[in-house]
């Protein structure tokens, strides 16, 4: 029985167990034919997003930007880049989403700006201006080399020389993405002002990009090297990133963000946390009532195969203890190769896409569904001459890069550019995606799209899937089984992650609620790539 106070808590914590649809606006829908997706295009497709049964939309950056990193290099936090439209288009999007019952989450990029941001232009002018300490500046070593050995994610040294200041500035990503000095209280105040600007425009949550890069070691100590046989494709991979990120004062800034958002009501705060310290940082950033609500990392996003041990390990990191935050999970996003291409391993891609969808909605936590995941899109094929991702271009051909996960969504199979745009798209449409277009799948009741709606609806209908606890069961590889919820209301979730049939029988009597590629009788052998959700008889 649900008590009135339980209902109030559920309403205020709408994000707990929510399914959040991740939109990468550049590649979602182009309303004006210039080849770039825009906010008006997203608004035109909100009815489709609503039809999936999701709770919220997360928008990747649409702020003013020179687009050298496609929006994650912000030059004006409080305006919309003309590529995406104008502030009026954002307001219209929020109004339409709210009318449909959808929450809106936006990215906040607090670790760095674009080199074109007015803050940086003032900061680099000299060493005595009002914003001289708003970015991370340091003198060269006596021989002219960078202040530390820190390496950037995308290229080599994390330091770039600036002749105006005759100093180096820190850039943990690209050289035209200088790092903000978030130790500076004035910088924190300015970023909180950015947050308030978007809160006042009606957003329902923030996803904090690369937040563990927001503060550096002021003592500028060198990072230690990675020893042994570690895989090294970039200079970044040669060291442990202890001093250029993950500073222990970051949670104090997160507490200031939480205090601001608490004054605006039911605001969801989720952090993106990557790197070798991600496990401890996700816990640190979400522990207690004055931190973020949730965090997600790259455990699934960078895993090259899906195994029961991976799922168990991810679940074990969030043991549901007092004061603990709430996990979030993503199998695909704009920074990682699509899940079907990473995990299917030459198996039936449609079957694997459905299996992954059922598993995702069965996990304890909130889940992010990346645009096209509901269609079972594989990684798009982008030839070298069409690449736009600076990481892919810099490291070709040794990293897949991100362009293949960002190719345009196919809406209409037979339309020019698969219905994404009337103009030449910024990234090419993969021809193999046309057969997976929305219009094709809408006409096929057995499609991945229809199965995605069933899976999301299952999570909405069964509270144990949305907010219940999780307990892993002992199973032989490649069978994964766990319980969601407690007592008579518990649900059994069983998956054969292998390609061949596997035998496993649960204790007790169960009735199947949802099944994919599986028998209704749980005493029978599980076919390969089978998934089952069942309730107690």
Enzyme catalytic residues: 209, 272
d(CA 251, CA 206): 16
* Cβ atoms within 10 Å, residue 452: 26
Cα–Cα distance, 388 to 524 (Å, whole number): 49
Helix (H, G, I), strand (E, B) or coil at 429: coil
Tokens encoding 462: 């069964």
Q: How far is CA 316 from CA 313, 319, 471, in A?
A: 5, 6, 9
- Preceding amide of 513 cis, omega within 30: no
Query: Which residues, 6 or more positions from 524, have their beta carbon under 8 angstroms from its beta carbon?
Result: none
Contact 470, 484 (CB under 8 A): yes
Give the C-alpha separation, 251 to 155, whole Å: 28
Q: What Cα–Cα distance (Å) separates residue 154 from each residue in 63, 151, 177, 182, 221?
A: 22, 9, 11, 21, 21
Is there a contact between 179 and 172 (Cβ–Cβ < 8 Å)?
yes
Cα–Cα distance, 402 to 116 (Å, whole number): 24
Long-range residue pairs from 481-485, CB within 8 A, at least 24 positions apart, any chain: 481/506, 482/311, 482/315, 482/362, 484/362, 484/364
Residue tagged 């930007």 (tokens): 65
Q: How far apart are CA 365 and CA 217, in angstroms?
A: 32
Cα–Cα distance list, 201 to 11, 78, 88, 525 (Å): 21, 11, 10, 54
Distances (CA, A) of 243 to 111, 168, 366, 532: 15, 17, 31, 45
């Amino acid at each position: 029985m649900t008590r009135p106070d339980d209902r109030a808590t559920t309403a205020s914590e709408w994000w707990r167990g929510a399914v959040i649809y991740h939109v990468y606006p550049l590649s979602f829908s182009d309303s004006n034919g210039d080849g770039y997706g825009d906010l008006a295009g997203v608004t035109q497709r909100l009815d489709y997003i609503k039809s999936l049964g999701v709770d919220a939309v997360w928008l990747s950056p649409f702020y003013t930007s020179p687009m050298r990193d496609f929006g994650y290099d912000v030059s004006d936090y409080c305006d919309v880049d003309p590529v995406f439209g104008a502030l009026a288009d954002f307001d219209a999007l929020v109004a339409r989403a709210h009318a449909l019952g959808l929450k809106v989450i936006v990215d906040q990029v607090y670790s760095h700006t674009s080199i074109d941001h007015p803050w940086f232009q003032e900061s680099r002018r000299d060493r005595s201006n009002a914003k001289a300490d708003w970015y991370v500046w340091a003198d060269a070593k006596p021989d002219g080399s960078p202040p530390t050995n820190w390496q950037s994610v995308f290229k080599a040294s994390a330091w770039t020389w600036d002749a105006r200041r005759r100093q180096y500035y820190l850039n943990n990503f690209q050289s035209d993405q200088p790092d903000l000095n978030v130790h500076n209280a004035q910088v924190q105040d300015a970023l909180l002002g950015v947050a308030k600007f978007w809160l006042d425009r009606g957003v329902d949550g923030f996803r904090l990009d690369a937040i563990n890069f927001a503060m550096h070691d002021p003592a500028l100590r060198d990072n230690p090297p990675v020893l042994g046989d570690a895989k090294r494709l970039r200079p970044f991979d040669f060291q442990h990133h202890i001093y250029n990120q993950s500073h222990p004062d970051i949670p104090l800034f997160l507490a200031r963000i939480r205090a601001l958002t608490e004054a605006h009501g039911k605001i969801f705060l989720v952090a993106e946390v990557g790197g070798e310290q991600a496990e401890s940082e996700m816990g640190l950033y979400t522990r207690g009532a004055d931190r973020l609500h949730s965090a997600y990392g790259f455990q699934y996003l960078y895993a090259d195969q899906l195994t029961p041990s991976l799922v168990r390990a991810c679940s074990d990191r969030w043991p549901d203890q007092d004061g603990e935050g709430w996990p979030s999970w993503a199998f695909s996003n704009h920074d990682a190769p699509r899940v079907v291409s990473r995990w299917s391993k030459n198996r039936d891609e449609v079957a694997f896409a459905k299996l992954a969808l059922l598993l995702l909605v069965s996990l304890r936590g909130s889940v992010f569904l990346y645009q096209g995941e509901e269609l079972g899109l594989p990684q798009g094929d982008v030839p070298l001459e069409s690449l736009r991702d600076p990481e892919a271009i810099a490291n070709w051909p040794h990293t897949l890069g991100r362009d293949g996960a960002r190719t345009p969504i196919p809406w209409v199979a037979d339309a020019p550019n698969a219905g994404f745009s009337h103009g030449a798209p910024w990234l090419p449409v993969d021809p193999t995606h046309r057969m997976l277009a929305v219009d094709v799948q809408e006409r096929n009741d057995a499609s991945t799209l229809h199965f995605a709606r069933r899976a999301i609806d299952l999570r909405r209908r069964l509270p144990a899937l949305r907010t219940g606890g999780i307990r892993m069961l002992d199973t032989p590889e490649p069978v994964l089984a766990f319980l969601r919820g407690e007592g008579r209301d518990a649900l059994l979730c069983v998956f054969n992650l292998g390609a061949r049939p596997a035998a496993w029988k649960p204790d007790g009597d169960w009735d199947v609620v949802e099944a994919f590629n599986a028998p209704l009788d749980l005493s029978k052998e599980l076919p390969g790539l089978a998934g089952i959700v069942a309730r107690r008889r």
